[in-house]
Structure 1
Amino acid sequence: MKGDRVEIVVDAGDTTRTYEMVAARAGRRVETAVRRGVVEVSEVTRTGTVVRTARFMASRVLALVEQPVPREQASETAERRPLREDPKT
């Protein structure tokens, strides 16, 4: 969903560097994967097409923080919807 973010903190020798991958457009999401010692963060469209990818050596990654956009609309509709009572009881 637009606004999903992943922050990657990487050890760069004597300092740390922070990178951020953000889903830039509506319908896109950010996916993470760890394969063969590489952390891969990708922005993906609805159809699964990869738009851009960032790769980091897993041994250098200090933190990987996923920050999804709050889904306010879904929680509001669930609170407003009344529970149905069973007429048989």
Structure 2
Amino acid sequence: MKGDRVEIVIDAGSGTTHTYDVVATRAGRRVDIAHGRGVIEVSEVTRGGTTVRTARFLANRVLALVEHPAADAPAPDEITPTLRSA
């Protein structure tokens, strides 16, 4: 779903970290996560299953992997009232 996001924090060595975001950029796309053989792969995938782009990280370097699903409806504080004329 457009707006899905995965945030990846990796150890870059000597006490520094780098943060990467993979985002579903269009309607109908999703973000998939796969892991195996010491590699974590985060991909943006279309409805039909075609991979649009992929990010690969060494599993022993990944400190955090956070999934941020897209909101289905705006939160109550995000709804802006509209003015109606009588």
TM-score higher than 0.5: yes
Match of 1:59 in 2: 60
Among all aligned residue pairs of Structure 1 and Structure 2, give the percentage whose two residues are the same amino acid. Answer: 71
Query: How many Å apart are 1:35 and its aligned residue?
Result: 1.1
Show CA shifts across 1:8-35 (max 9, x none). 0000002000000000111100000111
Who is 2:44 aligned against? 43
* Aligned-partner Cα distance in 2 for 1:57–1:64: 12
Structure 2 residue matching 1:72: 3-state secondary structure: coil
What is the CA deviation profile of residues 65-88 of structure 1, one whole-angstrom value per residue up to 9, with x for unaligned ones? Answer: 000011228xxxxxxxxxxxxxxx
Give the aligned partner of residue 85 of structure 1. none
| TM-score scaled by length of structure 2 | 0.82
Unpaired runs of 5+ in structure 2?
75-86
Which is richer in strand? 2
Cα RMSD for the two superposed structures: 1.1
Question: Structure 1 unaligned runs (5+)?
Answer: 74-89
Q: Could you report, residue by residue, the CA deviation over 1:39-85 in whole angstroms, capped at 9, with x for unpaired residues?
A: 00000000000000000000000000000011228xxxxxxxxxxxx
2:12 matched to which residue of 1? Answer: 12
Structure of higher CA gyration radius: 1
Q: Per residue, is there more helix in 1 or in 2?
A: 1
- Name the aligned partner's letter for residue 3 of structure 2: G
Q: Segments of 4+ in structure 1 off by > 6 A?
A: none
The CA distance in 1 between the partners of 2:72 and 2:20, in whole Å, is: 24
